[in-house]
Amino acid sequence: MAPNRKKNALNRRSFIKSTGCAALGYTTLFSSLINMKAIASAALDKSEGDESGDYKAMVCILLGGGADSHNMLIPRGNNEYNEYLTTRSNLAIPKSQLLSLNHAPVDGKQFGVHPDMPQTRDLFNSGKLAWLSNVGTLVEPMTKAQYESNTAGKPLGLFSHSDQIKHWQTGRPGDRSTLGWGGRVADLIQSQNSNPNLSMNISLSGNNFFQNGENTVEYSIRPTGEFGINGYGEQNNYNLRRDAAINSILDREYADIFEETYINTFKKSVDTSEEMSEALSQVQDFNTDFSDNMVSDQLKMIAKVIAARESLGFNRQTFFVHFGGWDHHDEILESQQEKLPILDSALGEFMSVLEELGLENQVTTFTVSDFGRTLTSNGDGSDHAWGGNAMVMGGAVNGGQIFGDAPSLELGSDLMLPRGVLIPTTSASEYFAELAAWFGVNQSDLFDIFPDLSNFYSPGNSYPIGFMDPNA
């Protein structure tokens, strides 16, 4: 028994270095153990995907707080820009500073992007990125009259951070589900991966709704590649005593079936986390240089996991990144000048490394946020609203185009509620269903994952919106 106990102790040290735990005490330790519940059962494969080794991944970037995307994608034609300028007043970006997008007119309108998004402009103009205009959480199509008379279903908790950030991750704005659409997708197609012990859902930002399914949860890792409980194994009196307590928890046998299952799940994670650590250690350095910021660090780590996909047995994966701090009720112009270059450079770098890996067509990156923001100013910022704009990037994207309707930004227009709140014209359900269909989900299963989808889309040969290439 002694040799086995020594082997287990070594495995624990390796596990703690290579998992997403970052505990400083027992409470955080057990919270982290729950985060690392990544022993997903192999689900019945009900997808249309084959098993020929065609790898695909989706990368979700959540702009937490409700990003003011009306200052990211901006109309630049004379008439529409004047509407934008009048409505946005002191929040408007000067027309002379806009970076032009080369695209066919959308409802007769031409667009540009914020001056701090040059790589986004270049990705769009080179056909690698598309915009979705005025997308939001919708239960069913809605007119201004229906909103005002309450004759159409509204998302629960409209304008609420806690509700809306959840709806964008679950794809179910009509209820307060805790199961994410990425998790539901993983439940269907997890068995396409040859490794049943490691979740296909990898989070760089800890717990999230998006990747939580019935049988699948996220596997949390750190962007630095240094996983583990802070200070574990350091030779000082405090850590030695704490480490001894942790080891005691792991080595102990439990009579209670729940406790025994719980600790066995933890121990079972040892081998898979060692496997992840070993696979990542074999990934060679990239030629692409990444910026020194949180988002670039996370996308670089995602690129490393993708590069190790074959040794890890992955054929399908989802990734989650939370880039917070977008709730700009004040100092919006200054805040966006700080945050947009981070997002912009990270997107450009990630696309570059995917091209370096030859996987630009296999990985699709997309943005979501709690909600759009008011077009009118509150004095120095904007407030919670509804419809906004989103980006989708990848070689399988029909890039260089703006999808959805481009509504008038004139105050009092047919889609505008008080204070410049836009009613969405494209539903988040359509947005996500298209991504899921490209990922390999059976069309009939889309309506189970997104119960409101039938209010916007009828089954057919085409995707709901058209921003993804069905042949890719």
Strand partners, 203: 220, 320
Which tens digits make up the pLDDT trace of 32-55? Answer: 333 333 333 333 333 444 343 589
Element (H, E) at 28: helix 26-35
Which tens digits make up the pLDDT trace of 133-143? Answer: 999 999 999 99
- For residue 256, what pLDDT band results from cuts at 50, 70 and 90? confident
The 3-state DSSP class for residue 174 equals coil
Which tens digits make up the pLDDT trace of 431-459? Answer: 999 999 999 999 999 999 999 999 999 98
Which tens digits make up the pLDDT trace of 143-176? Answer: 999 999 999 999 999 999 999 999 999 999 999 9
- Record the tokens describing residue 341, joined without a space: 């270059």
Among residues 199, 223, 200, the alpha carbon closest in space to that of 301 is found at 223
**Higher pLDDT, residue 71 or 227:** 71
pTM (2 decimals)? Answer: 0.86
pLDDT the model gives residue 63: 98
Domain positions in the chain are 2-49+56-455
d(CA 26, CA 34): 13
What is the overall mean pLDDT for the chain? 86
d(CA 14, CA 236): 19
With vertex at residue 317, the alpha carbon angle to CA 56 and CA 184, rounded to the nearest 5 degrees, is 110
